[in-house]
Chains A and B, each alone.
Chain A
């Protein structure tokens, strides 16, 4: 598990923050430049947006599979596509809906484009790396799951998620927790079955399989029909790669995707600080004790001058 070394290195460095124990991390630091590329046989889903007809069967299936509360409107009610949250934005994932379908009227496109939104299950998830109670876990099967029994409710994961996915059950006064898609890990993925939304989709918009195979498939589809797709598999490299990936015939930035996320996992932006922590822990005590001794020395010298 060489790939995990950087994380354990950071853990070592930061744990030192509590117990000034930065010793023994130098060896791992050499391996610290590696990125965690994801578990080799992890599963993923390839979403072909060109095929989605906006029937919202996936939403209905998700609601049932995850025992989510009754929706505000029926799942066959297309009026939800016109709903706008603050800022004129289309609806997003909530504590009551782990997946939502958005509709985009793209100029020049004969039909509206529908986009399914849910957790993308990053290879190196920002939510996971930002969680201070270690509630999140990236399973070897590819799902990003979380342990709601340890969630304190700081909501840093919501701040960290570049895709604005985790929702929070604000409405609960006694047990509010993070709510998000877990790729049906508990009930399906663990047993090798596809998530409920994938299975329910009449159009087979989503292809379930090993992430590495899906990547090949995605690029093959693009090369088979270069006119039918933009030459980009969203999620292949975004923020270090995600388990859910997307094909589209419309440039991704026109349909609500953030195309400026870069290819580095979010944690890499925090590294500069994390790397500095053990330095401060080791250098500061000596440095400031030195300052103290120096300023005392002046006093001592003054005292002696006064005496003579």
Chain B
């Protein structure tokens, strides 16, 4: 598409074509290309070939999971009831999607209108991350059709997961609402946008509350397993705080990573406003992320001091923990700080990749690797891995599809 644009292709940016007639919905979905052109573009894209390869293997296995049960795709472990579906799909995807409430807060609450051009990407990153976390959850639940049981059928309100369920559900709704303006512009429903604008402050504050609680709650889920999670990754009083604060830099870093990807691979879809502001905004996000990183580092140290876990640092687990902290927290912190000081957006982008890796490592450590640290390590079944790739590929497909169409990376030109 980038090459198409350099050849003079103009993507949809308003209700009207160049000649003054209106785009039909079908044309909008086809990105303003003729069906023939559209499919030709899709076929040319080598990334799509990779996706097709993943689907060729992954879809049958995903279907098989629902026909033959979880026992067919996982090791049916009683000791490790949670595998990659939750370790990656829920515990990693959710913090990486904290960008939604972060950007909402920055722009709508603190009035930093200068972040406006990246706000929608932050919101979308949030929405899709949560949506696919729920998809992963549905793959993992033994009886996914009972998902609404905790809401309406049999309530266990004193359980942490009850809170997660309710908050993720309400927050998803909240995020859909926050993205209604983008959708309404694209589809031409101005009323919906107006309505959301009138309640945006309420939505944003609800988003903060819900995010604080469920990001924290995902951490608190592990406080049910005091003896199972390695002490370096466990802290009864601070677990929720560790998860919440790390979600802040995780969300911001993920936003930097995604915006970098859009800058490279979807440049055709970005408008001047977005592209020209991106480096400056990346540094702004980097600043926020470095604040969260230093806070996180300090409360992690407090966590170790509180439970007097220093001795564990000298063990093999300690070395692994230090690796996570150095590569996933301290290095990004240093690089982010240097990037902000020297206005070096590229360095901030590198720091963001490290931070995203660090958060994934932290969540996988807590949920899988340092879980049952006194027993044995669970190596996921290959089919489990294939399903994770398949669902994540779908996440990317949907992400890309929305970015290519709705006014996320560009500003919609309103009818005069």
- Chain A positions within 8 Å of B, measured between CB atoms, are 7, 10-11, 14-15, 17-18, 86-89, 92-94, 126, 129-135, 147, 150-156, 158-160, 162, 164, 166-168, 170-177, 258, 260-262, 266, 269-270, 272-274, 276-277, 280-281, 284-285, 288-289, 291-292, 295-296, 298-299
- A130-B161 CB under 8 A given contacts A159-B228, A170-B74: yes
In contact, A292 and B110 (Cβ under 8 angstroms) = yes
In contact, B167 and A151 (Cβ under 8 angstroms) = no
In contact, A285 and B209 (Cβ under 8 angstroms) = yes
CB distance from B69 to the nearest CB of A (A): 3
In contact, A133 and B212 (Cβ under 8 angstroms) = no
In contact, B240 and A288 (Cβ under 8 angstroms) = no
Note all chain B residues with C-beta closer than 8 A to A291: 109-110
CB distance from B96 to the nearest CB of A (A): 21
Note all chain A residues with C-beta closer than 8 A to B105: 288
Q: Indicate with 1 or 0, residue by residue over B69-106, a CB within 8 angstroms of chain A CB atoms.
A: 11110101111011000000000000000000000010
Task: Give complex CA distance A272, B235 in Å.
Answer: 10
CB distance from B255 to the nearest CB of A (A): 20
Contact of A147 among B144, B154, B164 (CB under 8 A): B154
Assign chain B's interface to a size class: 35 or more
Contact of A270 among B68, B140, B167, B220 (CB under 8 A): B220
Binds A, one of B44-52, B145-153, B295-303: B145-153
Note all chain A residues with C-beta closer than 8 A to B159: 14, 129-132, 134, 156
In contact, B156 and A132 (Cβ under 8 angstroms) = yes
In contact, B224 and A280 (Cβ under 8 angstroms) = no
Contact of B163 among A7, A131, A158, A277 (CB under 8 A): A277
In contact, B78 and A164 (Cβ under 8 angstroms) = yes
- A126-B236 CB under 8 A given contacts A87-B375, A92-B78: no
The winner among A94, A177, A276 for most chain B CB atoms within 10 A is: A276
Note all chain B residues with C-beta closer than 8 A to A15: 157
Task: Give complex CA distance A261, B67 in Å.
Answer: 39
In contact, A288 and B208 (Cβ under 8 angstroms) = yes
Q: What are 20 of the A-B contact pairs (CB < 8 Å)?
A: A7-B158, A14-B157, A132-B164, A133-B155, A134-B155, A134-B159, A150-B149, A152-B143, A152-B149, A156-B224, A159-B221, A174-B69, A177-B142, A266-B224, A270-B160, A270-B223, A270-B236, A273-B160, A284-B208, A285-B209
Task: Report the number of A-B residue pairs with Cβ-Cβ less than 8 Å.
Answer: 210
CB distance from B78 to the nearest CB of A (A): 5
Note all chain A residues with C-beta closer than 8 A to B217: 273
Note all chain B residues with C-beta closer than 8 A to A152: 141-143, 146-147, 149-150
Interface of B is mostly: helix
The answer to whether B66 has its CB under 8 Å from any CB of chain A is yes
CB distance from B338 to the nearest CB of A (A): 29
Task: Give complex CA distance A296, B109 in Å.
Answer: 9
Q: Indicate with 1 or 0, residue by residue over B198-224, a CB within 8 angstroms of chain A CB atoms.
A: 000100110011001100110111111
The answer to whether B378 has its CB under 8 Å from any CB of chain A is yes
Task: Give complex CA distance A73, B290 in Å.
Answer: 59
- Chain B positions within 8 Å of A, measured between CB atoms, are 66-72, 74, 76-79, 81-82, 105, 108-111, 140-144, 146-147, 149-150, 153-167, 170, 201, 204-205, 208-209, 212-213, 216-217, 219-228, 236-237, 239-240, 375-376, 378
The winner among B105, B109, B110, B159 for most chain A CB atoms within 10 A is: B159
In contact, A131 and B109 (Cβ under 8 angstroms) = no
Task: Give complex CA distance A156, B212 in Å.
Answer: 21
CB distance from A82 to the nearest CB of B (A): 18
Note all chain A residues with C-beta closer than 8 A to B161: 130-132, 154, 156
Note all chain B residues with C-beta closer than 8 A to A17: 157, 162-163, 166-167, 213
In contact, B376 and A175 (Cβ under 8 angstroms) = no
The winner among B109, B162, B164, B236 for most chain A CB atoms within 10 A is: B162
Q: Which 10 residue pairs across A and B have the least CB separation, nearest first?
A: A153-B142, A87-B376, A173-B69, A155-B81, A134-B156, A170-B71, A273-B220, A170-B76, A160-B224, A176-B142
In contact, A171 and B110 (Cβ under 8 angstroms) = no
Note all chain A residues with C-beta closer than 8 A to B74: 170
In contact, A133 and B205 (Cβ under 8 angstroms) = no
In contact, B157 and A299 (Cβ under 8 angstroms) = no
Known: A126-B224, A134-B159, A170-B71. 11 other contacts (CB 8 A): A92-B79, A134-B154, A151-B142, A156-B161, A159-B224, A164-B78, A173-B69, A175-B143, A176-B70, A269-B224, A270-B236
Instruction: For B146, give the chain A residue with the smallest CB separation.
Output: A152
